[in-house]
């Protein structure tokens, strides 16, 4: 082939590879309910919905297309680049054998780079960043490819499904967990790896997703003691408890009953050390240990309370504050101090 023909064919192959990669990742990331909302007025969205309903077949088609593009680049572009580099390297005075080996390696590196970066990584990042848009834009063309290759795809897909079943896994044709925290974490992780998401945002989003699973009981550390004084304690007792523990909030407690908490700052506003500390007490929120963190934050914000007690039935297990919860939303290195 002449050089212009090779360049045109190579460009088409890389574009096709990008098409198959983007199609694959767009339907993995797209939310079905959004496609359903768009389907009423969009033929492309309806095509994307049909593809999401036979996901394993679509993935087989995408992988078949990517493989064909890889083989085509190896059969057309790599030999052409090898041929172009040979005279250049020979003109430097290198022996023909050395020039042949060096041009082969360079051609492999160049073609691999073009295929990975332009034909795979860039379209993958675009599809993940705009899943519904990419799914609908590419859906009709992909349905046409699947219609042409459906007999082959069914054979390949059935062979893969039989292999998977031998390992005790039942294949599914429809993705049903695209929006759960685990899938979102995978998308966030991938976006950070390819440079589409800054590391600071990656850390914050990951920690925010963890809130969906963590409970207030998970924040309690084994061996932690509650900084508390008796319900009849004085201002002096509260200040001494703060000096011993370093905690600014001191719980007023009688057995398993908590009557509130006192912030040591409030005891510095002209009170006598022998004054009753209960007059300075603020209310607490009582939470079962199984309360999710996001619910705990909401409860504490609604009641304008900074401290919550954590219980297992009637038993008092410990206390948590907003400064215990908030660091889970912040990037590493950003700390809160009680």
Answer for the pair 35, 45: CB distance below 8 angstroms, yes or no. Answer: yes
Residue 229 to residue 249: CA distance in whole angstroms: 11
pLDDT in tens, the chain (338 residues): 688 898 999 999 999 999 999 998 888 777 777 777 787 788 888 888 888 788 788 888 889 999 999 999 999 989 999 888 888 888 888 888 888 899 999 999 999 998 999 988 999 999 888 888 888 889 899 999 989 988 898 888 888 888 888 888 777 665 554 455 566 666 666 666 666 666 666 666 666 666 666 788 887 877 678 888 888 888 889 889 888 888 888 888 888 888 888 888 888 877 788 888 888 888 888 888 888 877 888 888 888 888 888 888 888 888 888 777 766 555 444 444 44
Domain 216-329 fold is CBS-domain (3.10.580)
For residue 248 the two structure tokens come to 């600014």
Mind listing the pLDDT tens digit for each residue in 6-60? 899 999 999 999 999 999 888 877 777 777 778 778 888 888 888 878 878 888 8
Q: Is 155 helix (H, G, I), strand (E, B) or coil?
A: helix
Inter-CA distances, 315 with 200, 251, 256, 261, 312, Å: 39, 15, 6, 18, 5
What pLDDT is recorded for position 68? 93
DSSP label of 120: I
Q: Is 321 helix (H, G, I), strand (E, B) or coil?
A: strand
Boundaries of every domain in the chain: 3-175, 216-329
Question: What does the angle CA 59 – CA 64 – CA 66 come to, to the nearest 5 degrees?
Answer: 95
Q: What is the pTM of this model?
A: 0.51
What pLDDT is recorded for position 16? 93
């Amino acid at each position: 082939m002449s050089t212009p023909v090779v360049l045109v064919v190579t460009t088409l192959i890389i574009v096709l590879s990008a098409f198959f990669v983007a199609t694959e990742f767009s339907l993995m990331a797209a939310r079905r309910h959004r496609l359903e909302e768009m389907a009423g007025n969009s033929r492309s969205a309806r095509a994307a919905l049909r593809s999401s309903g036979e996901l394993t077949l679509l993935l087989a088609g995408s992988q078949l297309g990517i493989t064909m593009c890889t083989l085509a680049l190896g059969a057309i572009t790599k030999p052409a680049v090898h041929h172009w580099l040979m005279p250049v390297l020979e003109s430097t005075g290198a022996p023909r054998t050395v020039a042949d080996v060096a041009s082969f390696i360079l051609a492999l590196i160049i073609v691999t780079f073009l295929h990975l970066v332009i034909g795979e990584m860039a379209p993958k990042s675009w599809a993940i960043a705009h899943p519904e848009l990419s799914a609908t834009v590419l859906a009709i063309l992909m349905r046409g490819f699947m219609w042409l290759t459906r007999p082959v795809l069914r054979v390949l897909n059935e062979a893969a499904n039989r292999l998977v079943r031998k390992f005790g896994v039942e294949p599914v044709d429809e993705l049903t967990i695209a929006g759960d925290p685990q899938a979102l974490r995978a998308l966030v992780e991938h976006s950070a790896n390819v440079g589409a998401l800054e590391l600071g945002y990656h850390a914050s989003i990951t920690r925010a997703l963890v809130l969906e699973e963590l409970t207030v009981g998970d924040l309690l550390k084994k061996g932690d003691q509650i900084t508390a004084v008796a319900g009849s304690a004085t201002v002096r007792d509260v200040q001494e408890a703060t000096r011993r523990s370093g905690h600014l909030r001191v719980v007023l407690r009688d057995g398993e009953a908590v009557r509130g908490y006192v912030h040591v700052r409030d005891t510095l506003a002209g009170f006598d050390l022998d004054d009753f500390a209960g007059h300075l007490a603020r209310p607490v929120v009582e939470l079962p240990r199984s309360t999710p963190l996001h619910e705990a934050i909401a409860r504490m914000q609604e009641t304008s309370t900074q401290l919550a007690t954590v219980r297992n039935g009637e038993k008092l297990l410990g206390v948590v504050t907003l400064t215990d919860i908030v660091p889970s939303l912040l990037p590493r290195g950003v700390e809160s101090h009680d």
